[in-house]
């Protein structure tokens, strides 16, 4: 197997035992990036190659001891990595060089990872389609005329094309799950508060977005997740989480899976997605899982009502300092800003009451099911020059993000959700499932994903890029 397509777990083992050097891996990584990245535009703000080679040689000389020692990684361009620009895809911040690492990046470096650059993201991470006026669009490696999803689109494409073995991302509304599905890799949204973000501004109220890992195998997801995880004493939330690595594949026999499908007809899907999802579930049944069709457990319109209020409230707090520069903001950012600023305290409270009601109902579901399953997206990758999906199977979308409503039930509650490849459609484009567990069941969900990976290894079907 080509070195850059090997798993991070295997690479780390060879680095630790001396069968591989960080210098050799860095050289192979830089060669792969030079060959592929001009086509897909996934990695941006690259460090100087000579400096990276020197850093790899220094890591070899110091001894490769950390869990990620010697592994190259590029950081999603919403997080700060000291010495690298953090544009957030916005002209407002283009060229702004980070003076320090965010806590997540500091943990990656402390574990021995070598930061080589940034991965592309939509402007401010808004919208599940990776394009921005600073770095341009990232293209789907399975069809460069199509979107790669987002907002962790650059990370997913870098994994799918063998430019990285592991990647960080973040997820508010499917940003680790949609690009994983559209690029035939894995993306994991961990239980909320397992992976801390920066202790900036309010640290009590907003519980929608989280950082998380992406990789080509669930075992590699576990490797990275353990490094990212752990409480930050500066923040009120976050308990000590048990390690998930090394990951043992679950025995699917007797596992009870609840299939939520199209939520009783409330969710529109493009043709082929539900059929592909059901075919994947049939494979799980063949392995001994018990799959049951579920009636809608909670009104989806109430979940959406709660979601768009709490999301706009959260997003607008970050955008509020930029209100005077509206001319430099894209339309979706302005929409979120204006909605959030217009919300009253009681409207936010009502939205959170709905969230609480849905949480209680979901908690009861997990008394009966080991996991719940939904498709990871409602549409196939759309043309890269379209800003967002305006309709699904003839049904108009009333917001720039309604086409990703399928990810909201897990996001609203902070549940762990693994996006895992489910195969390809008639046009040769990838699609995925999201497998969801109760809060704190990260290890169980990843173990189910590991069992699925042993059965299928969909990421082994790589894009045909030079």
In a domain, 445, yes or no: yes
Pair of tokens at residue 460: 């082994």
Domain of residue 95 covers 3-460
In a domain, 152, yes or no: yes
d(CA 151, CA 443) in angstroms, rounded, equals: 24
Residue 419 in 3-state DSSP? strand
> With contact defined as beta carbons under 8 Å apart, do 401 and 127 qualify?
yes
In a domain, 446, yes or no: yes
Residue 151 has pLDDT above 70, yes or no: yes
Nearest to 230 by CA among 242, 216, 247: 242
Average pLDDT over residues 318-327: 94
Res 241: pLDDT: 87
Res 239: pLDDT: 79
In a domain, 273, yes or no: yes
> Which percentage of the chain shows pLDDT scores above 70?
100
Residues 6+ apart with CB under 8 A from 387: 127, 129, 131, 400
What total number of domains does the chain contain? 1
Residue 127 in 3-state DSSP? coil
d(CA 31, CA 23) in angstroms, rounded, equals: 12
Res 176: pLDDT: 98
Average pLDDT over residues 138-155: 98
In whole numbers, what is the pLDDT of the chain averaged over residues? 97
d(CA 158, CA 36) in angstroms, rounded, equals: 9
The confidence band for 320, taking pLDDT boundaries of 50, 70 and 90, is very high
Pair of tokens at residue 248: 């043992």
In a domain, 248, yes or no: yes
Give the tens place of pLDDT for each residue, 59-115.
999 999 999 999 999 999 999 999 999 999 999 999 999 999 999 999 999 999 999
d(CA 117, CA 41) in angstroms, rounded, equals: 12
Residue 14 in 3-state DSSP? helix
Residue 334 has pLDDT above 70, yes or no: yes
Residue 150 has pLDDT above 70, yes or no: yes
Q: Is the CA virtual torsion 268, 270, 272, 278 positive or negative? A: negative
In a domain, 465, yes or no: no
Residue 260 has pLDDT above 70, yes or no: yes
Residue 466 has pLDDT above 70, yes or no: no
In a domain, 287, yes or no: yes
Angle subtended at Cα 304 by Cα 299 and Cα 306, rounded to the nearest 5 degrees: 100
Average pLDDT over residues 336-359: 98
Instruction: Tell me which residues are annotated as active site.
Output: 76, 151, 175
Res 428: pLDDT: 97
Residue 10 in 3-state DSSP? helix
> Which percentage of the chain shows pLDDT scores above 90?
98
Res 240: pLDDT: 85
Residue 222 has pLDDT above 70, yes or no: yes
> With contact defined as beta carbons under 8 Å apart, do 417 and 389 qualify?
no
Q: The CATH number of the domain where 49 resides is what?
A: 3.90.1300.10
In a domain, 466, yes or no: no
The confidence band for 170, taking pLDDT boundaries of 50, 70 and 90, is very high
């Amino acid at each position: 197997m080509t070195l850059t397509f090997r798993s991070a777990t295997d690479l780390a083992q060879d680095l630790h035992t001396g069968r591989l050097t960080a210098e050799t891996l860095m050289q192979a990584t830089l060669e792969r990036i030079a060959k592929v990245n001009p086509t897909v535009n996934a990695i941006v703000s690259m460090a100087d190659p000579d400096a990276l080679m020197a850093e790899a040689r220094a890591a070899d000389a110091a001894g490769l001891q950390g869990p990620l020692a010697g592994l190259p990684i590029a950081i999603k361009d919403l997080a700060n990595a000291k010495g690298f620009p953090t544009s957030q895809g916005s002209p407002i911040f283009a060229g702004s060089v980070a003076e320090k690492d965010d806590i997540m990046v500091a943990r990656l470096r402390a574990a021995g990872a070598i930061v080589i650059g940034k991965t592309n993201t939509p402007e401010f991470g808004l919208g599940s389609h990776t394009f921005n006026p600073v770095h341009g669009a990232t293209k789907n490696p399975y069809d460069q005329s199509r979107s790669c999803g987002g907002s962790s689109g650059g990370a997913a494409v870098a994994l799918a094309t063998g430019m990285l073995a592991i990647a960080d991302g973040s997820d508010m509304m499917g940003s680790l799950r949609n690009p994983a599905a559209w690029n035939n890799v894995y993306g994991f949204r961990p239980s909320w508060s397992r992976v801390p973000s920066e202790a900036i501004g309010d640290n009590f109220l907003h519980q929608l977005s989280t950082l998380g890992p992406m990789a080509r195998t669930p075992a590699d997801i576990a490797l990275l997740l353990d490094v990212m995880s752990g409480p930050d004493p500066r923040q009120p939330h976050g308990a000590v989480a048990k390690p998930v690595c090394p990951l043992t594949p679950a025995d699917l026999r007797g596992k009870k899976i609840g299939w939520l499908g199209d939520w009783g007809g409330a969710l529109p899907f493009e043709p082929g997605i539900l059929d592909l999802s059901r075919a994947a579930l049939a494979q799980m049944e063949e392995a001994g899982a018990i799959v049951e069709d579920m009636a809608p457990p909670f009104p989806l319109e109430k979940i959406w009502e709660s979601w768009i209020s709490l999301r706009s409230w959260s997003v607008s707090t970050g955008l509020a300092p930029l209100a005077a520069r509206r001319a430099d903001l894209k339309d979706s950012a302005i929409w979120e800003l204006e909605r959030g600023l217009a919300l009253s305290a009681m409207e936010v409270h009502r939205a959170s009451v709905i969230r609480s009601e849905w949480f209680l109902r979901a908690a009861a579901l997990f008394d009966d099911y080991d996991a719940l399953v939904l498709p990871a997206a409602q549409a196939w990758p759309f043309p890269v020059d379209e800003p967002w999906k305006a309709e699904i199977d003839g049904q108009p979308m009333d917001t720039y993000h309604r086409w990703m409503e399928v990810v909201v039930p897990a996001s609203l509650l902070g549940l762990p959700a693994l996006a895992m490849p489910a195969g390809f459609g008639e046009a040769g484009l990838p699609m995925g499932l999201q497998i969801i567990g109760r809060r704190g069941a990260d290890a169980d969900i990843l173990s189910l994903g590991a069992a699925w990976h042993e059965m299928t290894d969909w990421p082994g079907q790589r894009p045909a890029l030079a």
